Chains A and B, each alone.
Chain A
Amino acid sequence: MKDDAIPSQFPVEPGDPTRRNFLKLSSGAVVLFMGGAAVAAGEQTATGAPAEAAAIPPVPVVPVPKPARTEGEALEAYNWEEHRYAYLIDTAKCIGCGSCVRACKKENDVPDEFFRTWVERYLVSAEQSYVDSPNGGLEGFQPAHVAFVPTKAFFVPKMCNHCRETPCIQVCPVGASYRTKEGAILVDGDHCIGCGYCVQACPYGSRFINEHIHTADKCTWCYHRITKGLKPACVSVCPTGTRQFGDMHNETDPVRVAIEHERVTTLQPHHLTEPQCYYLALDKEVR
């Protein structure tokens, strides 16, 4: 079976029916994605590491087969040079339902104790603040009891910021962390040595060492979905439109329009990492 020959970028539990089905559905996209990974590695070679080309055999870019079940949009040949993605989070709209966290866990087989995305709750007064994220917001939020009178309260979804000047790629000693042409920051799970340097370097706590596969793990913007024209799982399930995913190469894309015309900010801008997750209505308490 061709499906079984796909090198697995994402952890695949042999007995997990949802993952198996999903992989069958998206085989074409995953193959294409691995091709992309090889191109990215090759580029890096040109800039400084000649040995790399020899060590990473180029994965041939297989033409996307046409599975009968996918949407018409996904049938188009995908060209990663035609996109540059960005993510927009409007914290004013988040209701803390945790659907995004659940969707992400299911879609990406995230280990129980870690999170590729999570939701934080803030209870803030002029003097004090209280923050929590019980189990990453996976089951939503129970009422919180605090010893002060909060004057404002809000939820903030968090995830990898897919920074353009990201320290995690810089510090990876073997080049296993890389950026795709569309701007997604990914980890080559077959090349990562599991040193944990990227986990240390990320200021946002977005990375973790996946204790099942012993490599770095993080949000991929659901790369297997976006390369088929779908939205990341967290965006698809968000009931309030808090989370939006768009293409900066598309002038009419609502995300690009919002980033261009609204007052947006990013997390911890002083680190100059140029996050590509933009926030609307972000409070100073949020870090």
Chain B
Amino acid sequence: MPEMSGYSFPNDIHVTWSLMIVMYPYITGFVAGAFIVTSLYHVFGRQEFKPVARLAMATSFCFLAIATMPLLNHLGHPERGVFVVITPNFASAMAGFGLLYSFYLIVLTLEVWFVYRKEIIETARRSRGLKRFVYAALALGTYDTSPEALAIDHKAVRLLCAIGLPSACMLHGYVGFIFGAIKANPWWSTPLMPVIFLLSAAVSGIGLLIVLYQAICKFRRAPIEAPTVTAMARWLWFFLILTATLETLEVIMLAYEKSESWQVVGKLLGGPLSFSFWSLQMILGSLIPFILLFIVVVMNRFLHDRIRNTLTMIASLLLLVQVFSMRWNIVIGGQLLSKSFRGWRGGYTPALFDREGVLVALGLLVLPFVLLFIFNRVLPIYSATAAEEEHDQEPSGPASSEAAPAGGIK
């Protein structure tokens, strides 16, 4: 193994994959993670997730809508991006993107439609003029809201969700695969990579929903359901344990094995990644949320609602940082060392105003929430009718009976 003497291959001067390629797995992570939450209700029938099921579906949808943007923004020739779909080289992991993305988009769109079908029709009936026309168009020509038709809707949602769950996992696992299958890069090349990506997607998705749910409840002045927060905290804790364990095991395994990879990974973790990996990802992002959620999970009975909400909120926010730093450490960290393994590249600090810079990345993070706001205006996430409808379909649990809010956000 070559010693570090400062020599980089002459072409290894830039970090080729920029902040945009950090943003992409971060965004698709929310897509997959939020979908897991919605599946917990629709497929696995966990009643305590009912108050967030629609929110999770809408969140997944809005993040999916912009998922291609960071990629297109990164391409040297964005106008040729469509070649990935029309002339795919199926030997390439990246060529699967078009298929996975479009399949999941179709499944999710259908699911949204079936979930909202009754409300779309009712809104169309209630409205006049342009609004009536728009909602009538959204109803796609069927106005059947008989109990039989609604039962079919319900089955369709369950089926679509059951198909959507593996597709969401594939869509995100494949991102891990893209990195994990690069044998030229010891920090990336591990079969664990897709698994770690997937688990951290679940973490970021549940974390985001805890934050969103509490924020929206505050905004609507609606009560925050304790069973929902508790359940989300439990699942978040579970996925955090899995993801942090695998992330740690990967490093320990390499170090113990003293493999060739460790020569590189050790240099990275002891050098340019020492802060973002150990301090951010492992301690601030994993250990502290682990302890906070531990308190919530183990001492749940003794916690006041407010304490529980605050603890899960802080843990979720920290986990959002953890997952971002994990993406950063993988994507950027993996490119910091020259393939000569003797020297570093020139480092990477994203510019503020660059095409692939910080402002654009922030914009990409804000955009899904703008979409979510619009989504909510068109198809209200929390509405009285929705709760009633669900009431008809599902045996009402403790969460669902209280879930009917006084009024939707208008």
Residues of A within 8 A of B (CB): 44, 48-49, 51-52, 54-56, 113-115, 118, 120, 128-133, 135-136, 158, 167, 169-176, 191-197, 199-209, 213-215, 271, 285, 287
Q: How far is the CA of A176 from the CA of B183 in the complex (A)?
A: 21
A196 adjacent to B183 (CB under 8 Å):
no
B10 adjacent to A133 (CB under 8 Å):
yes
Q: How far is the CA of A171 from the CA of B53 in the complex (A)?
A: 37
B340 adjacent to A205 (CB under 8 Å):
yes
Known: A195-B94, A200-B184, A209-B16. A173 touches B84 (CB 8 A): yes
Q: How far is the CA of A204 from the CA of B10 in the complex (A)?
A: 11
B325 within 8 A of A: no
Q: How far is the CA of A251 from the CA of B120 in the complex (A)?
A: 76
A172 adjacent to B92 (CB under 8 Å):
yes
- 1/0 contact string of B74-96 vs chain A (CB within 8 Å): 11110011011011111111110
Q: How far is the CA of A172 from the CA of B83 in the complex (A)?
A: 11
Known: A49-B88, A215-B77. A193 touches B83 (CB 8 A): yes
A129 adjacent to B2 (CB under 8 Å):
yes
Q: How far is the CA of A169 from the CA of B95 in the complex (A)?
A: 12
**In whole Å, how far is A211's beta carbon from the nearest beta carbon of chain B?**
9
Residues of B within 8 A of A (CB): 2-3, 5, 7, 9-13, 16-17, 74-77, 80-81, 83-84, 86-95, 97, 178, 181-185, 335, 338-342
B86 adjacent to A115 (CB under 8 Å):
no
Residues of A within 8 A of B83 (CB): 55, 173-174, 176, 191, 193
Q: How far is the CA of A120 from the CA of B8 in the complex (A)?
A: 10
Besides A158-B9, A174-B80, 19 other A-B contacts (C-beta < 8 A): A48-B90, A120-B7, A129-B2, A129-B3, A131-B340, A171-B91, A171-B181, A172-B89, A174-B89, A193-B81, A196-B76, A201-B182, A204-B339, A205-B338, A205-B339, A205-B340, A206-B11, A287-B340, A287-B342
A sample of 6 inter-chain contacts (CB < 8 A) reads A51-B86, A169-B91, A170-B92, A192-B76, A197-B92, A202-B184
Residues of A within 8 A of B77 (CB): 192-194, 214-215
Q: How far is the CA of A169 from the CA of B75 in the complex (A)?
A: 18
Q: How far is the CA of A287 from the CA of B83 in the complex (A)?
A: 35
A174 adjacent to B87 (CB under 8 Å):
yes
B88 adjacent to A195 (CB under 8 Å):
no
Which residue in chain B gives the minimum CB-CB distance to A54? B86
B5 adjacent to A131 (CB under 8 Å):
yes
Residue among A118, A133, A194 having the largest count of chain B Cβ atoms under 10 Å: A194
Q: How far is the CA of A245 from the CA of B400 in the complex (A)?
A: 75
Residue among A174, A176, A194, A285 having the largest count of chain B Cβ atoms under 10 Å: A174
Residues of B within 8 A of A128 (CB): 3
Known: A131-B340, A193-B84. A203 touches B89 (CB 8 A): no
Residues of A within 8 A of B185 (CB): 200
Known: A128-B3, A173-B92, A214-B77. A114 touches B182 (CB 8 A): no
**In whole Å, how far is A224's beta carbon from the nearest beta carbon of chain B?**
22
Residues of A within 8 A of B87 (CB): 49, 51-52, 55-56, 174-175, 191
**Nearest 3 Cβ contacts at the A-B interface:** A194-B76, A214-B76, A205-B9
Q: How far is the CA of A167 from the CA of B89 in the complex (A)?
A: 13
